Amino acid sequence: MLRRCLDLLAPALAEPGAVVVDATLGLGGHSEALLSTFPSARLVAIDRDPAALKLSAERLAPFGDRATLVHAVYDELADVLARLGIPKVQGVLFDLGVSSMQLDEADRGFAYAQDAPLDMRMDQTTGISAAEVLNTYPPGDLVRILRTYGEEKYARKIVDAVVKQRVKEPFTNSARLVDLIREVLPQAAKRTGGNPAKRTFQALRIEVNAELAAVEGAIPAAIGALAVGGRIAVLSYQSLEDRIVKQAFAAGAANTAPPGLPVVPEQYQPRLKLLTRGAELPTEEEIAENKRAAPARLRGAERIREEAL
């Protein structure tokens, strides 16, 4: 869906001196496309993963000082722009969730299809690992995490088994957790929906990286950073993220005037115009080319009014 993201942002990035933020740098594919497609634009790219920043710096080196890479979480966007002396930007792109690099590097522990240490931190220099969550959280907290972040119907069964096993030996690797989940889930649950461990792994990853809290802070911050005429495009890969984006966009596009006013004062007028009808989905061709694109949901919006005083 890269082409569609570029098309959504294009009207805002045509003018010389436009600044665009890639809030989820990863391996730099989107940033490279932004810099190539909009040759007069300046890029600010953010990522919490030092390994991703190092690899992307090499990839984006040909663009020289047009690209500024920053080690930060995307909910720190406002602070990053303030430190750089950038009051407003013309575009923001989010590609939420875990990156392909993190999934493909076995020692990061994100992928349930291969055995690895249960880490799951996007920034391995800080925070607690998935193993620490499994081995130390109270059972009630683990159930809540699996139900809320993984939408796992059998959260209680899985957690009961985890608590019994962690007393005997702490969890350290992904294969043991996958095997445990396979053992405790009913046969019917294992026949549908792909790998039965995927919901638990998603839930642990979200908890370890505080992903939903970061999204809840980042989307309003990005909207606030947009100049009038600026645009934001957000790719989400699971319903919890997409719901946060949808609600933030809907709030910005809403008329907030008290009911019954004959004329709506400017301070109550919408700040955003929605650029997508609901969430746009990937095409069959895109999914055939990249199966990881299948759950993607794209939403876009344009800033049409300054904040009311």
CATH of domain 107-209: 1.10.150.170
Of 18-32, 91-105, 257-271, highest mean pLDDT: 18-32
Q: Is 194 left (phi over 0), alpha (psi -120 to 50) or beta?
A: left
> Is 95 among the annotated ligand-binding positions?
yes
Quickly name the fold that domain 2-95+211-303 has.
Answer: Rossmann fold (3.40.50)
**Sequence ranges of the chain with CATH classification 3.40.50.150:** 2-95+211-303
Q: What is the pLDDT of residues 86-143, one digit of tens each?
A: 999 999 999 997 655 555 555 555 667 778 899 999 888 888 999 999 999 999 999 9
Q: Of 32, 54, 14, 48, which Cα lies nearest the Cα of 218?
A: 48
> Is 47 among the annotated ligand-binding positions?
yes
By CB neighbour count within 10 A (0-12 exposed, 13-18 middle, 19+ buried), where does 241 fall? Answer: buried
Integer Cα distance of 23 and 38 in angstroms:
17
**Sequence ranges of the chain with CATH classification 1.10.150.170:** 107-209
Q: Taking each helix axis as running N to C, give the angle between helix 155-168 and helix 139-150, from 0 to 180 degrees, rounded to the nearest 10.
A: 140
> Is 28 among the annotated ligand-binding positions?
yes
pLDDT interval class at 266 (50, 70, 90) = confident
> Is 229 among the annotated ligand-binding positions?
no
Q: What is the pLDDT of residues 132-150, one digit of tens each?
A: 999 999 999 999 999 999 9
